[in-house]
Amino acid sequence: MPDWSYQTLFRPLLFRLPSRVARSLTLHAMRRVSRLPGGTLLIKTLGHMEPSPILEGHIAGIPVPTPVGLSGDVDPQAIAHKAVSQFGFGFIEIGPVTVQPIQSTDPISNEWRQETICYPSEYENDELEKMQSLIDNPAHALPQFVRIAPMPGCSVEQAITQLGQLLHTLSSAQVAGFYIDVLSNSRTLEHNIYLLQQITNRARAYYELHRKPLFLHIPLDYPETWLEQALIASDPSIWSGYIIGKALHDSNGVKVGRTGTISALAVSKVRLLRASISKSSVIKVSAGIHEPQDALHMIHAGADNVLLNSGLIFSGPGLPKRINEAIIYDKIKQEPLPKEPSFWKHWGWMALLGIGMMIGGAIAWLIAESSVVLPYDEAYLGMSRLELQQINEHLLHFMSHDRITLAGTMLSIGILYYQLAKNGLKNGLHWTRTALMASGIVGFPSFFLYLGYGFFDPIHATAVAILFPMFLLAMRRNPDQPSRSPVNLRNSREWRLAMWGQLCFVALGISLSIGGIVIACVGVTNVFVPQDLAFMGVTPQQLDIANPRLISLIAHDRAGFGGALFSNAVMLLIVALWGLQQYQRWLWWTLLAGGSPAFIAGLSVHYHIRYTDFLHLLPAYFAFALFIAGLILLFPYLMKKDIQSSDVKRNYNSSVWE
């Protein structure tokens, strides 16, 4: 469920359901996908969320792949942790956990216009035995931090006993550390300090025995004057860090989300803590992170880690990846640019391969518009062009239509190869190398599909012999580099429109992939579809009688076109899935320039030869509509000029933090 499907299709439907039902449906659906053979690979493929080594860090000595964590209330029963762990998270929170189950059937209110969620109970969780089981048997490899709390309304003595019991019961090898949730607005400051001091004594003995880091949980709306005194009264040496809660409390329950109040309270507490504690202490914040700029603002204020909760519901499952990309760019934007690689190292060979494909496509188009057949075609058939015309008046038109569509596809591939090499491979962008690699792996073998009918095309074979070494040279010595381009930081209107545009291009890539496979399969089996035979007014038997080698020659064109279309579609699909990043103007022009020759060739030749059967052209019309719609919807997102960081920060502060 990536953002391009969540924002456009699933979120509007899920938000019409009761929140508990929507959450259950979503989590169980992700769980089923992750349990399928290759399910986690599918999740990774759709989102391309593999974290960069730049993001690796430590939390109290515990290695984490990213500084972004999953809050416990998103999936309190760990239903979809196997799937969610592939989203780009670095650690997972479990809990809150209490000694007795706390359950509620009251509705969870989703105030989606304000991007807030109201929970009837902050501490809703299953019985301790069940919580222990899911902690001890994780479906993922990420570090788990467990938030433990006393039962609401219990006495100070009971709270001390319960927290000790929870620490003892849950101290398994699968627990990376604990969040101790003891501070409460409902108690007096004196009770809070006394409880904190008693827990500190228990925690010291626990830490000496188990050596698991402990973090003090600070309610988001805890008075800061109380917090200052609590920090003074508590022994700071026992705490590896502090985690700032996400909720505002009232008589109806708790509210989480992204409002000016929530965000301001979180930032204020981060700054207070950073000014009061040692530099080695970790600060985590789990309030109001709904877009990458929120996370950066917390980090700039002094937070080390952020946890996501309501942001996943309102922004989508791609939010961790977007935050990771923003953090990477924030880290490297001031670093000097790496030395530009030599043209001949790798990317130049791919650029030459693209130029070769464009030249080949242009020559093929000219031939298909004029003589249609080449001398070696006539030699293979033992017939001249004039004799072919005499077999059927539409035969050469039909062959021309196959060859022009192939030529247009070759031009499209060449443009994409050249642009991805010049703007992506040259800069070490992983997704461009993957797109080019996948296209070449499926494309070059497809050149030889025509051998199934016994026809050897010397020009195609020569092209492969020239171009394939270029492909191999382009794929060698190709280390990945982080992108130096600004990334998307806001859930803006342009971003939301881009999700629809991305959906269009993903659908286009899938549709063309299916189309390429179908055409290639038809080319090596039946060769014709009924509309082809109706257009020419012949049967395969009549063509076979006219020349036994004629169908083999036509099959070679069809299979070649199907293979080329599939190669092009795979590359386009990877671009759509992984490559669409804000401000990348070159990419919009690449999509426009790369798709235009294929559509112009495919549609114009059909109208030129009057092969206009609606059902035959319906897939082309559908694909063209997706292409145009995708370009229109992506235009504001990709073509918008980069905004200076100061402007982004100033606009953001004025709209949220003030």
Whether residue 179 contacts residue 71, with contact meaning beta carbons closer than 8 Å, is answered with no
Q: Strand pairing partners for 254? A: 119, 249
Question: What pLDDT, in 10s, does the model give residues 307-330?
Answer: 999 999 999 999 999 999 999 999
Residue carrying the six token digits 């036509």: 554
User: Which residues contact residue 271 at a Cβ distance below 8 angstroms, ignoring those fewer than 6 apart?
Assistant: 301, 302
For residue 242, what pLDDT is reported? 96
Each residue of 35-93: pLDDT tens digit?
999 888 888 888 777 888 999 999 999 999 999 999 999 999 999 999 999 999 999 99
DSSP 8-state class, residue 342: P
Cβ(163)–Cβ(148) under 8 Å?
yes
Q: Compute CA distances 186 → 104, 126, 246, 287, 345, whole Å.
A: 21, 24, 17, 20, 66
Asked if 32 and 82 touch (Cβ cutoff 8 Å), the reply is: no
Provide CATH code, domain 3-330: 3.20.20.70
Give the C-alpha separation, 247 to 328, whole Å: 28
Taking alpha carbons only, the member of 395, 369, 372 closest to residue 550 is 395
C-alpha span between 375 and 384 (Å, rounded): 9
Q: CA angle at residue 620 from 615 to 621, to 5 degrees?
A: 80
Other Cβ atoms within 10 Å of 263 Cβ, number: 20
With contact defined as beta carbons under 8 Å apart, do 104 and 254 qualify? no
Q: What is the pLDDT of residues 593-622, one digit of tens each?
A: 999 999 999 999 999 999 999 999 999 999
Helices (H), 52-155: 81-84, 128-136
Residue with tokens 């169908």: 551
Return the ∠ at Cα 431 (arms to 426 and 433), rounded to 5°.
50
Domain residue ranges in the chain: 3-330, 347-639
Q: What is the pLDDT of residue 648?
A: 42
Kindly report the pTM of this predicted structure.
Answer: 0.91
Ramachandran region of residue 627, left (φ > 0), alpha (ψ -120 to 50) or beta?
alpha
Instruction: Provide the 8-state DSSP code for 236.
Output: G
Angle at 137 between CA 132 and CA 143, to 5 degrees: 90
| pLDDT at 650 (0 to 100) | 46
Across-strand partners of 119?
254
Residue 113 to residues 19, 74, 253, 315, 500, Cα–Cα distance (Å): 15, 19, 19, 13, 20
Q: How far apart are CA 346 and CA 340, in angstroms?
A: 12
Using only C-alpha atoms, the chain has a radius of gyration, in whole angstroms, of 31
Calculate what percentage of the chain has a pLDDT beyond 70. Answer: 97
Please say whether the beta carbons of 358 and 409 come within 8 A.
Answer: no
Q: What mean pLDDT comes out for the span 376-398?
A: 91
The total of other beta-carbon atoms located within 10 Å of residue 327's CB is 22
pLDDT reported for residue 117: 95
Nearest to 474 by CA among 634, 650, 352: 352
Supply the mean pLDDT for the chain: 91
Q: How far apart are CA 618 and CA 595, in angstroms?
A: 17
Instruction: Check residue 338 and report its DSSP letter.
Output: P
Name the pLDDT band for 651 (thresholds 50, 70, 90). Answer: very low
* C-alpha–C-alpha distance, residues 368 and 380, integer Å: 18
Condensed to tens digits (0 to 9), the pLDDT of residues 250-303 reads 888 899 998 889 999 999 999 999 999 998 999 999 999 999 999 999 999 999
Q: Which residues on neighbouring strands pair with residue 68, listed in sequence order?
A: 306
As a whole number of angstroms, the distance between CA 16 and CA 3 comes to: 18
Confidence of residue 451 (pLDDT cuts 50, 70, 90): low
Could you tell me the two tokens for 291?
Answer: 């877009």
Provide the β-strand partners of residue 243: 217, 284
Per-residue pLDDT tens over the stretch 341-373: 889 888 999 999 999 999 999 999 999 999 999
User: Tokens representing 365?
Assistant: 């188009």
pLDDT bracket for residue 652 (50, 70, 90): very low
176 and 145 Cβ atoms separated by less than 8 Å = yes
End-to-end CA distance of the chain: 34
